[in-house]
Each structure stands twice: as structure tokens, then as C-alpha cells.
């Protein structure tokens, strides 16, 4: 069995002030570095066979901190990047509804239908997430693997392996910075969640029903 420990990157200043990051590069702030160091301690007794990460700066830095005491090389995978948000990137989230009211309403209320010029759709992000997991499975068939990525990309993977629709991508549990979700993958490709955003799967609302 393959066990993916999927960690969201640590906090950046853009997170703290709610600035749209998307696929822009932003570095970890001191809080983000401390978050990553805390997770490193949490994972210290796990022997990872491989480490995969998004190549964006905030995930790169998080992965480097998580692997400070390890010999694993970090393998960067483009499909693990965050959702591309086109012209929204670098704007403040609070300003988005004023300039793009219809697109923002759709993004929040009907994310599966979201469309914005130059941006990815949620379905495209989901397909990238599936491709990233398949790539990792092809490289490492069993054991523990560390994966460092981004909120929307991780949530799409969560929904895919929980048989949940993309329409609930903004529903709880929320993926806080440096939270960990653990996916167990069988050899036949089927998967089940052990934890989602540090919440035991039996305590996740959609998993109970």
C-alpha cells in the first residue's frame, strides 16, 4: 500500500493579508517557517521513500524545511501547482467582488462552473491533481511518500478520492497552512482517507453520511 502524506505549504504574507496568490511566487513568512518546522517534528519518525512538491516558491521552501534532516531529494512536479487564477492574481481578495462580481459569485457559489479569462477551471485543477497522484504512484508503488502542494489542488484530490463533487470544494474541512491529509492507495488504484486537514476521516461531515 502507498501512503501519501499531503501537506499544504506554510503561511506567506500574501496569505496573511488575503492577497490572491494562484501561481504567483511568494515566500514563507516567519509564521510559515515555524509551521513547517513543527510539521517536520511531527513527521520525524516516518521514513519517506520519496518527496514530491509543487515548484512554486512557497511549496519549495516548505518542502526544504520538512526535509532538513533527510537525505530525500525533492522532486518538483508542475501538476502539483496551485490553481491558476489569471487576472485575479496579485489583487486583494476583498477587491475581487467589486471588479468581477459575476465571476466571483460563481467562484464561491458554483465553483464547478467557474470561468474566468486566463484562469483554470476547477475541473482542470482536479485533472491535474489526478495526474499528479498517478505520476507519484508510477514512481513509488508502496510505502510512505511526502507531498507538498496547495489548498485548491489538495482539496480537489481529497474530493476525487472521497467520491465527492467539485461543487463542495469550499466546504469544510478548511485546509489551514501546513495541515496534513493522509491518503492510502491500494495497488488497484483505489484510495481512502485516513485524515483530511488533520481531521480524522470519521469526523469529516461528508464522510459520515
pLDDT digits (tens, 9 = 90+) for 47-96: 999 999 999 999 999 999 999 989 999 999 999 999 999 999 999 999 99
Burial environment of residue 58 by CB neighbours within 10 A (0 to 12, 13 to 18, 19 or more): buried
State the helix-helix crossing angle for 151-160 and 122-139, rounded to 10 degrees.
80
Active site residue 82: yes
CA distance 64 to 73: 9
Average pLDDT, the chain: 95
Paired strand residues for 184: 3, 192
pLDDT digits (tens, 9 = 90+) for 166-209: 999 999 899 999 999 999 999 887 889 999 998 887 777 766 44
The structural domains of the chain, with segments of one domain joined by +, span: 2-208
Contact criterion met (CB below 8 Å) for 139 and 79: no
The model's pTM is 0.95
Catalytic residue among 5, 9, 104, 150: 9
Among residues 61, 82, 103, 120, the one annotated as catalytic is 82
| CATH architecture assigned to 2-208 | 3-Layer(aba) Sandwich (3.40)
Written as nine digits, the cell of 138 is: 508510477
47: DSSP letter: -
What CA–CA distance (Å, rounded) separates 153 from 82? Answer: 6
Q: Is 9 a known active-site residue?
A: yes
Q: Kindly give the interhelix angle for 57-66 and 30-42, rounded to the nearest 10 degrees.
A: 40
Amino acid at each position: 500500500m502507498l501512503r501519501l502524506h499531503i501537506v499544504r505549504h506554510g503561511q506567506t504574507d500574501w496569505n496573511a493579508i488575503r492577497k490572491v496568490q494562484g501561481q504567483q511566487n511568494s515566500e514563507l513568512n516567519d509564521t510559515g517557517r515555524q509551521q513547517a518546522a513543527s510539521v517536520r517534528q511531527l513527521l520525524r519518525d516516518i521514513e519517506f521513500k520519496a518527496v514530491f512538491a509543487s515548484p512554486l516558491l512557497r511549496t519549495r521552501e516548505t518542502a526544504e524545511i520538512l526535509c532538513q534532516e533527510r537525505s530525500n531529494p525533492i522532486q518538483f512536479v508542475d501538476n502539483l501547482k496551485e490553481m491558476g487564477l489569471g487576472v485575479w492574481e496579485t489583487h486583494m481578495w476583498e477587491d475581487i467582488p467589486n471588479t468581477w462580481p459575476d465571476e466571483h459569485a460563481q467562484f464561491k457559489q458554483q465553483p464547478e462552473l467557474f470561468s474566468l479569462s486566463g484562469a483554470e477551471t476547477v475541473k482542470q485543477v482536479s485533472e491535474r491533481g489526478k495526474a499528479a497522484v498517478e505520476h507519484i504512484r508510477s514512481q513509488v508503488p508502496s510505502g510512505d511518500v511526502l507531498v507538498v502542494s496547495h489548498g485548491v489542488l489538495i482539496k480537489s484530490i481529497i474530493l476525487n478520492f472521497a467520491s465527492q463533487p467539485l461543487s463542495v470544494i469550499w466546504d469544510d474541512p478548511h485546509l489551514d497552512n501546513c495541515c496534513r491529509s493522509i491518503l492510502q492507495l491500494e495497488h488497484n488504484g483505489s484510495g481512502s482517507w485516513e485524515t483530511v486537514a488533520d481531521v480524522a476521516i470519521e469526523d469529516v461531515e461528508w464522510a459520515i453520511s
